[in-house]
Amino acid sequence: MVTEAERMNKTLSSRPYAERLEWSLEKEARTRNSALGRMKNVLNGHWNRTLEQETQQWAV
């Protein structure tokens, strides 16, 4: 059975170098963006919990 990575390698190796470079840069940017997105979600979640705790303290 051929894995996705192997299939991608075969597809990329048949393409010109510039195209392969462009694809890897694009993929790297996408990975970086999703990592940033996850980090934002974590920080927002933390911030929201902090706000909730503060509001509950004021309500008591």
Rounded to two decimals, what is the model's pTM? 0.32
pLDDT at 24: 67
pLDDT single digits (tens) 5-56: 666 556 555 667 666 666 666 777 777 777 777 788 787 777 777 777 777 7
Sign, CA torsion 2/4/6/12: positive
Residues in Cβ contact with 12 at an 8 Å cutoff, skipping those fewer than 6 apart? 20, 23
